Amino acid sequence: MDADRGQLIKNLLTEINRGGVRDRDVLMAIATVPRDAFVRTEAQHQAWENRALPIDDGQTISQPLIVGLMTQALNLTGNERILEIGTGSGYQAAVLAELAREVVSIERYSSLAETARKRLADLGVSTVRVVIGDGTKGWPEGAPYDGIIVTAAAPHLPQALEQQLSRKPGARIVIPIGSPDDQELMVYERTDSNLREYTLGPVRFVPLIGEQGWQE
Ligand code: SAM
C-alpha cells in the first residue's frame, strides 16, 4: 500500500472512531475493505473520506461512519447469517463479510446488483450472495437471520423483516426510520420476551422503495 493511501485510511479510522465506532474488529474491517474499489473513477480521490458518494441509478454508497455504526450495532461474533437490504455498491456487504459467516444482500436495481456481484467476485468475497428483488419483503428462503441491516430509509419497520429475524435473544435489525428527508437510525433487538428498540441518532438515507416501504 502506498504511504498516501495508508495515511488516508488512518485518518478515516481516527475520524470514525471519534464518531463512535469503538469496536476494533469493525475498524479493522473498514481498513481492510478497499472502499476505492466501490466508488466511481471520478470520485477516487474521495474514496477514503468520511462522506457518502454517488453511485449509479441515483443511489449512494453510505458514509463510512454510518457503515461503521450500523455494523457495530449488529454486535457480530463471526458466526452470524445476515440479511442486508440495499446492496448498492456492495461495500457494506463486503464489510459485513469480514465479520459474519454469510450475507444475503438484496437490491431492487438489477444493474447495481450485477455490478456489485462482479466487484465482490473480483475482490474474492465469496460469502455474500447478491439477489435482486423488493427487500421490504425480506428474503424468506434464507430466514431466519441473526441480523438484518437496511441501508435505505423506511417509513416503518417492515413486518416481513421482523418475521424473518431469528428468535434468539440478541438478534437485531438496524434500520433508518422516518420521513424521506430525515430519519432516526433504529435498532430493534430481540430479548427473551419482546423486541427492545433504541435509536443511534439522526441520519439521512435514500428512500426504501417497495411494498412495505415508500411508493416510487
Ligand atoms: N449498502 C450500500 C452500499 O454499501 O453501497 C448503500 C445503499 S444505498 C444508500 C440504498 C440502496 O437501497 C440503493 O441501492 C437502492 O436501490 C436500494 N433499495 C431501495 N429500496 C429497496 C428495496 N425495496 N429493496 C432492495 N433494495 C432497495
Is the CB of 209 inside a 6 Å radius of any atom of ligand 1?
A: yes
209 in a structural domain: no
55 in a structural domain: yes
Is the CB of 86 inside a 6 Å radius of any atom of ligand 1?
A: yes
144 in a structural domain: yes
40 in a structural domain: yes
- Looking at ligand 1, which residue's alpha carbon is closest to its atom 11? 86
Residues 6 or more apart whose CB falls under 8 angstroms from that of 156 comprise 177, 212
95 in a structural domain: yes
For a substitution probing ligand 1, which of 61, 87, 104, 157 has the most ligand atoms within 8 Å of its CB?
A: 87
Ligand 1 mean position to 159 CA, how many Å? 18
Is the CB of 115 inside a 6 Å radius of any atom of ligand 1?
A: no
215 in a structural domain: no
**Span 6-21, pLDDT tens digits:** 999 999 999 999 999 9
Is the CB of 137 inside a 6 Å radius of any atom of ligand 1?
A: no
Structural domain boundaries, residue 24: 3-203
Mean pLDDT of the chain: 97
> β-strand 60-61 against 81-85: which pairing, if any?
unpaired
Is the CB of 178 inside a 6 Å radius of any atom of ligand 1?
A: no
Question: What is residue 115's predicted lDDT score, i.e. its pLDDT?
Answer: 98
pLDDT(213) > 80? yes
Backbone angles phi, psi at 199, to 5 degrees: -110, 145
The number of folded domains in the chain is 1
- Looking at ligand 1, which residue's alpha carbon is closest to its atom 2? 88
* Annotated active-site residue in 62, 89, 126, 193: 62
pLDDT(2) > 90? no
**Span 95-141, pLDDT tens digits:** 999 999 999 999 999 999 999 999 999 999 999 999 999 999 999 99
Q: CATH number of the domain at 144, please.
A: 3.40.50.150
pLDDT(28) > 70? yes
8 in a structural domain: yes
Ligand 1 mean position to 192 CA, how many Å? 31
How far apart are alpha carbons 99 and 28 in whole angstroms?
10
Judge whether 216 and 183 are in contact, CB under 8 Å.
Answer: no
pLDDT(1) > 70? no
Nearest to 197 by CA among 206, 187, 205, 207: 187
47 in a structural domain: yes
* Ligand 1 atom closest to the CA of 135, numbered from 1: 24
Question: What is residue 22's predicted lDDT score, i.e. its pLDDT?
Answer: 98
Ligand 1 mean position to 66 CA, how many Å? 14
Is the CB of 183 inside a 6 Å radius of any atom of ligand 1?
A: no
Is the CB of 146 inside a 6 Å radius of any atom of ligand 1?
A: no
Is residue 62 part of the annotated active site? The answer reads: yes
pLDDT(91) > 80? yes
Residues 6 or more apart whose CB falls under 8 angstroms from that of 62 comprise 52, 70, 88, 91, 92, 151, 205
